[in-house]
Amino acid sequence: MSLTAPLLAMGAVFVARKALNVGFTLLTGSQPPDARDPHVRFDKALLWTVVTAATAAVIEVEIYRVLTAREERNR
């Protein structure tokens, strides 16, 4: 699991962020806020950053928990 979990988490987070971006674009008709763009309002950039970071954290925690449980069952 030492190499599998981080790679799986990185891949899953990449896919989730792409899905979030597509979903945002479909719902709003515009691109997601870019925190690096000085023309984007701070509250919008912050909210989008919180949503994407929280999604990534949940995915990472769940992957590690599932893989750890599977590893413990196989002992």
Q: What is the pLDDT of residues 9-52, one digit of tens each?
A: 999 999 999 999 999 999 999 999 999 999 999 999 999 999 99
Query: What is the mean pLDDT of the segment spanning 1-16?
Result: 90
pTM of the predicted protein model: 0.85
Q: What is the pLDDT of residue 1?
A: 59
d(C-alpha 68, C-alpha 75), whole Å:
11
Q: What is the pLDDT of residue 36?
A: 94
d(CA 12, CA 36): 24
